[in-house]
Structure 1
Amino acid sequence: MNLQEARAALRSARRVAVLTGAGVSAESGIPTFRDAQTGHWARFRPEDLASPGAYHRDPETVWAWYAGRYRDVTRAQPGAAHHLLAALERGKGEGFLLATQNVDGLHARAGSERLVELHGNLTTARCELCGTVVPLPAPEDFTPPPTCPVCGSRMRPNIVWFGEFLPEDALEAATLAFQEADVALIVGTSGVVYPAAGLALETRREGGVVIEVNPEETELTPYLSFSVRDVASRGLAALMEP
């Protein structure tokens, strides 16, 4: 498959499923999880900040880390890739689903509505006791940890941590969309974090076309139909040319 054929496949597809990763938000200035560990946070391993055990041992430190990341994402703006995917959704309608590994909320702010957030969302908190999910207050008004408005219990960051399962409903919706997709787009993700990385293979098993947009080859590349070797914004723009 070449670029022209990839464009034609995307244009004619009735059902399109998309998986996005950190590369989509990198152009908005959002560092990856590991790249964000600079300065004071450089002395921590990811497992020290993003696991149930870490939170049980030191919830104040974990909340301080996530409060800082929350401030960062609220200052960021959706980039061209976010807006292109929102436009693709408008064109495909009910045949479209976007599954993201990102937790920054930028897809929703760009206008994406047929969206599942596989790893949670930094801008919300979840009650440790009753599971209620609520938006965080504005960063300048936020003092962690928040308290559940329903039962009064402490709330945790609404993020999937190391050792936790993805939300069952989000994963089921994404899996079904990729199984039914005529074309799947894998954008800005290294393809090493499962089960999300396995979604592309669902489409391939069902005979669909899978197109990757990434500056570098990934572990998924050998199994896909075509790869656009560019950053998310330029790669998507090339695919969506009329």
Structure 2
Amino acid sequence: MKIDVLTLFPEMFTGVFNSSILGKAQEKGIVKLQAINFRSYANNKHHTVDDYPYGGGGGMVLKPEPVFAAVEALCEQAEEAPRVILMCPQGERYTQRKAEELSAAKHLVFICGHYEGYDERIRKHLVTDEISVGDYVLTGGELPAMTVIDSVVRLLPGVLGNETSAVTDSYSTGLLEYPHYTRPAVFRDMKVPDELLSGHHGNIEKWRRQQSLVRTLERRPDLLETAELTEAERKWLADYKKMNNIE
């Protein structure tokens, strides 16, 4: 996979791209990451990338020319048309399902805005996806882009040491992930659940699934409305709610 990030602050990505999982993924040749300062595509001697909004109002708006020029230059070099992603608080709420969808692409281009916003022609005629990481506003799209890139790259084959890790993550199954324990078996009188110490793989999987159901019920009950559950799991969950007086 190739991922290009158009930003006014490419230095923000240096540590992120060269550390931990992302750094190892590049070393393995699984992904190529690049941060590009789209100011270099500005068509005036002062390399201006923003201007006052028509109609007045506070703040500055990113001009269309440098962003269009940067994306078009990347597209000319691409083997196939990339997904062009606009990081924007008005975009669709980012989910694990979206991460899985993007991980199937060969080439992603992220546009990170700053200032008051984008010229609307960028949004309407250039991008394929608009993504928001939450209902809040940041000073730019760089941090959200890092979040999305990290979540996508870790899904690529060969990136994680254990290929099952991404499959069992929270949200990948539609539920929150079950609790984890490691050695020692007893720490300050706090004991690891017997099921995990039993060595019985069937019981362990059953315990983990039930714990995912409980954790989702307690923390994100809305996810249960769309989760794919068996009739046995629905009955077990109903019994659990009744036993614990949960509406």
What range describes the TM-score normalised by the shorter chain of this pair?
Answer: under 0.3
TM-score normalised by length of structure 2: 0.27
Kindly name which structure, 1 or 2, has the bigger radius of gyration based on alpha carbons.
2
TM-score normalised by length of structure 1: 0.28
**Could you say which structure has the greater relative contact order, defined with CA pairs below 8 angstroms and 6 or more residues apart?**
1
